[in-house]
Amino acid sequence: MKGVLLVNLGSPDSTKPKDVKKYLDEFLMDPRVIDVPRWARILLVRGIILNTRPKQSAKAYQKIWWEEGSPLIVLSERLKNKVQDNVTIPVALAMRYGSMTLKKGIQELVDQGVTEIKTIPLYPQFAMATTETIDVKVDELVTEFFPQVTITRTPAFYNKPGYVEVLSKSIGESLKGLDYDHILFSYHGVPERHIRKSDITNGNCKMNGKCCFKMGSPQHEFCYRHQCEITTVNVAKKLGLERGTYSTTFQSRLGFDPWLQPYTDRTIERMGKAGTKKLVVVTPAFVSDCLETLEEIAMEGQEIFHEVGGEEFTTIPCLNDRDDFAELLSKWIDEWRIVDIKTAIA
């Protein structure tokens, strides 16, 4: 029997610094997140970052936490329930980090008799630190614990027409009747080094703008920078946004290495100082609202904008558990479910 595993990033069990520390330790010790040799990662993460960050992050989580728990997890669960209502095969939800482990998610499906699993990472754009780490961890778990299970991966869906349609519709609804000067499409950043590491063109990418922004080539299957840019371009086209009224930025950088630019926080500050009064921010790298959208953008970003003279700051919700998004995922699941049936009939 077939089944589906939806996968998101995960959150700490609570907003207590000790739980945040445990979560950050698992997250940042992932070699696809902090991609330095293990000894250096231990030194950096356990010797430096985890001494101060858990307390800071715990405070940030306290500002956005809901009665039911972490917004990212609650919203992912609501999405999963809607998808399950639409399809006839079992659907489970797991997180790459934290207590809702991938192993538990696979086990839940196996307990229902599932032997073929389609994994759907809830990330529209591919990144080493997101899609790839899920794919690799699932493979490891299947080899070690579930050898009877076969896995079908779902590639990044940033350019799938159905996704562009649903994302544009959700943004369009928020923009209706709204007076604004500029829309920032703010994506989670990654170190520039990650883009070069995922480059499948033998070192062609020099991060100088010539490679990543070239259109329509399969070489961008693993280029996060390209996929973010194309997400913006596709939505702008669909909504008929005029050139100059929107731009792409990257948020949430950590550490001192160069990350993808322009940085969201500095752009908000620069625009406010330059006279932009009404700014809209949309965050299409995140399927579910989370710490990075609810605190970093909606709270910190808004504060920066107002401090430098900005007047109206609007954030657009992520797709979360929108009916049309749940229906789109269900359609993809159904298309996969009937593949073998079609082959058998033919």
Ligand X SMILES: C=CC1=C(C)c2cc3[nH]c(cc4nc(cc5[nH]c(cc1n2)c(C)c5CCC(=O)O)C(CCC(=O)O)=C4C)c(C)c3C=C
- Whichever of 82 and 296 has its CB closer to Fe ion, that residue is 296
Residue placing its CB nearer to ligand X in the complex, 123 or 246: 123
State how far the Cα of 317 lies from the Cα of 294, in Å rounded to an integer. Answer: 9
Residue 188 binds ligand X, judged by CB under 6 A: yes
* Three-point CA angle 215, 218, 219, nearest 5°: 85
**How many Å apart are CA 337 and CA 342, to the nearest integer?**
10
Stretch that binds ligand X, among 84-92, 124-132, 161-169, 314-322 (CB under 6 A): 124-132
DSSP letters, 154-171, are: ----TT-HHHHHHHHHHH
Q: Residue 244 gets which letter from DSSP?
A: T
Residues flagged as binding site: 188, 292
| 85-114 residues near ligand X, rule: CB under 6 A | none
- In the list 84, 119, 130, 231, the residue contacting ligand X (rule: CB under 6 A) is 130
Q: Judged by CB under 6 A, does residue 30 bind ligand X?
A: no
Among 100, 109, 212, 291, binds ligand X (CB under 6 A): 291
- Quick one: what does residue 133 bind among ligand X, Fe ion, none, with the CB cut-off 5 to 8 Å set by partner type? none
**Least Å distance between CB 198 and ligand X?**
11
Among 317, 315, 185, smallest CA distance to 249 is for: 185
CB closer to Fe ion, 82 vs 96: 96
Where are the strands (E) in the chain, listed by range?
Answer: 2-8, 91-95, 116-121, 150-153, 182-188, 246-251, 278-282, 312-315
What 3-state class would DSSP assign to 282?
strand
Least distance between Fe ion and beta carbon 66 (Å): 20
Identity of the residue, 34 or 212, whose beta carbon is nearer to Fe ion in the bound complex: 212
158 binds ligand X (CB under 6 A): no
For Fe ion, give the closer residue by CB, 48 or 338.
48
Report the sign of the C-alpha dihedral through residues 253, 258, 261, 267, in that order.
Answer: positive
* Residue among 24 and 120 whose Cβ is closer to ligand X: 24
Q: What distance in Å separates the CA atoms of residue 102 and residue 120, rounded to the nearest whole number?
A: 12
Of 53 and 238, CB closest to ligand X = 53
Binding residues (CB under 5 A) for Fe ion: these are 205, 211-212
CB of 209 to ligand X, least distance (A): 20
CA-closest candidate to residue 100, choices 123, 82, 74: 74
Instruction: Enter the DSSP assignment of 185.
Output: E
Distance CA 283, CA 288 (A): 10
The item of Fe ion, ligand X, none sharing an interface with residue 212, based on CB under 5 to 8 Å by kind, is Fe ion
> What is the per-residue binding string for ligand X in 37-66, x denoting contact by CB under 6 A?
----------------x---x---------
Number of residues that bind ligand X (CB under 6 A): 22
Using CB under 6 A, pick the residue from 36, 44, 151, 254 that binds ligand X.
Answer: 254
**Which of 290, 298, 304, 319 lies at the binding interface for ligand X (CB under 6 A)?**
290
Nearer to ligand X, 228 or 241 (CB): 228
Nearest distance from C-beta of residue 5 to ligand X, angstroms = 18
Q: For the stretch 314-324, what's the b/e string if a residue is b when 16 or more beta carbons lie within 10 angstroms of its beta carbon?
A: bbbbbbbbbee
Q: Which does 211 bind (CB under 5 to 8 A by kind): ligand X, Fe ion, none?
A: Fe ion
Q: For residues 192 and 158, what is the distance between their CA atoms, to the nearest angstrom?
A: 20
Could you list the residues known to form a binding site for Fe(2+), using ranges.
Answer: 188, 292
Residues 6 or more apart in contact with residue 274 via CB below 8 angstroms: none
Q: Cβ neighbours of residue 206 under 8 Å, at least 6 residues apart?
A: none
Instruction: Give residues in contact with ligand X (CB under 6 A).
Output: 9, 11, 24, 33, 53, 57, 70, 72, 123, 127, 129-130, 188, 190-191, 252, 254, 285-286, 290-292
